[in-house]
């Protein structure tokens, strides 16, 4: 996605060989026009996949996921990273390890927002090691539903996430694939 590549080069900051900061347009301040374009790309790619719902993990995936859901005219469900007292235990949960934050968290899905007949498109902001997407997929499959695809805004292609997901049989579509990062260096997969 050319618009996203340009925005990453203009406003993204490679802080190290593994950290890309894009908080000025994706995950702190959000550019709604860019999110809308992302939704268009995801909709066009996955339009023949018979998607019934869009899932994302709070919080950085919400903007691109809601724009995708809006364009596909489908409900969007947010998987929670923290327990909620109002969910009353009627949930699916799985443990996910965050390499970025160096901690584990419980990913939670309310049972009332998924059925065995659902075909889920998972949208996430970053793909690095694949842990978050795998956790979301585990919840979908625990409910008896099917993961119809995984849409990623920015993939760190030098990390193993894509291979991990594809080895499990998931179709992965990324809007931007980063080949290499370094302090002040951002290179895309050609």
Q: What is the pLDDT of residues 110-154, one digit of tens each?
A: 999 999 999 999 999 999 999 999 999 999 999 999 999 999 999
The pTM of this model reads 0.94
* DSSP conformation class of 171: -
pLDDT of residue 106: 87
Class of domain 32-177: alpha beta
Confidence (pLDDT) at 87:
61
Report the 10 Å Cβ neighbour count for 6.
11
Give the largest Cα separation in the chain, rounded. 48
Closest by CA position to 19, among listed 103, 102, 139, 113? 102
- Is 184 annotated as belonging to a binding site? no
pLDDT per position in the chain (190 positions), as tens? 999 999 999 999 999 999 999 999 998 999 999 999 999 999 999 999 999 999 999 888 999 999 999 999 999 999 998 766 666 679 999 888 877 767 788 899 999 999 999 999 999 999 999 999 999 999 999 999 999 999 999 999 999 999 999 999 999 999 999 999 998 899 999 8
Q: Would you say 20 is a known binding-site residue?
A: yes
Known binder of ligand: residue 47? no
Q: Which residues contact 74 (CB under 8 A, 6 or more apart)?
A: 51, 52, 53, 54
Is 132 labeled as ligand-binding? yes
Contact 189, 178 (CB under 8 A): yes
Residue 130 in marked binding region: yes
Report DSSP letters for 122-151, one per residue. EEEEEESSSHHHHHHHHHHHHTT-EEEEEE
Q: Is residue 185 part of an annotated ligand binding site?
A: no
85 annotated as a binding-site residue:
no
């Amino acid at each position: 996605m050319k618009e996203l590549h340009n925005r990453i080069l203009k406003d993204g900051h490679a802080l190290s060989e593994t950290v890309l900061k894009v908080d000025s347009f994706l995950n702190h301040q959000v550019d709604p026009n860019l999110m809308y374009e992302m939704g268009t790309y995801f909709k066009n790619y996955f339009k023949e996949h018979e998607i019934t719902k869009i899932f994302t993990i709070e919080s950085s995936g919400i903007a691109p996921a809601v724009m995708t859901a809006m364009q596909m005219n489908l409900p969007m469900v947010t998987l929670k990273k923290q327990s909620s007292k109002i969910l009353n235990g009627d949930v699916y949960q799985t443990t996910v390890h965050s390499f970025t934050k160096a901690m584990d968290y419980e990913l939670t899905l309310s049972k009332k927002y998924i059925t065995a007949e659902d075909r889920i498109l998972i949208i996430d902001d970053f793909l690095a090691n694949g842990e978050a997407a795998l956790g979301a997929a585990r919840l979908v499959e625990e409910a008896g539903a099917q993961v119809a695809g995984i849409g990623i805004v920015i993939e760190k292609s030098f990390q193993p996430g894509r291979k991990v997901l594809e080895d499990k049989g998931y179709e992965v579509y990324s809007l931007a694939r980063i080949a290499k990062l370094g302090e002040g260096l951002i290179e895309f997969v050609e």
